[in-house]
Amino acid sequence: MSKTTLRNLSLIGLAGVIIGFVFFGLSAVGATASTTVDASGSTTLSNITGGNPALALVGILLLVAAGIVSLIAWIGGLIRTAQLQRWGWFVPMLIFGSIVTLIWSFAGNDTPNAPTFQNPQYPPQPPMR
């Protein structure tokens, strides 16, 4: 998976989480309750409304969809960094998850490590005459 695809998936997941929380929070705005106190001093709670359940459902669905998209981006980032053998990015991405995936998609190096030269394991042969 390319870094551009990972970046797009991570940003879509982040935006979905933010919008999902906004919708879920807005669903509770209409929740009201009224209290009355009678002459004897007892308090009665009445007229309890639950807000907007449709907005709550939309918020939850957005959160689930954004979580799935973020999970796909995270797994793709783990696979990509393992293929590139970028273990300095792989371990934090494994521990901290999607936020490191998003940071790597902007700042990480996408080229494989240069192969190191290995000396031969046998002694050099004298030139043939």
Residue 26 scores a pLDDT above 90: no
Residue 125 domain-assigned?
Answer: no
**What's the average model confidence in pLDDT over 104-121?**
79
Residue 77 domain-assigned?
Answer: yes
Residue 68 scores a pLDDT above 70: yes
pTM above 0.85, yes or no: no
Residue 30 scores a pLDDT above 90: no
What average pLDDT is seen over the chain?
Answer: 87
- Pairwise CA distance, residues 28 & 126, whole Å: 85
Q: Which domain, by its residues, includes 90?
A: 3-32+47-107
- 55 touches 13 (CB < 8 A): no
Residue 38 domain-assigned?
Answer: no
Domain total of the chain = 1
Q: What angle do CA 8, 11, 13 make, to 5 degrees?
A: 105
Residue 118 domain-assigned?
Answer: no
Instruction: With H, G, I as helix, E, B as strand and everything else as coil, classify residue 32.
Output: coil
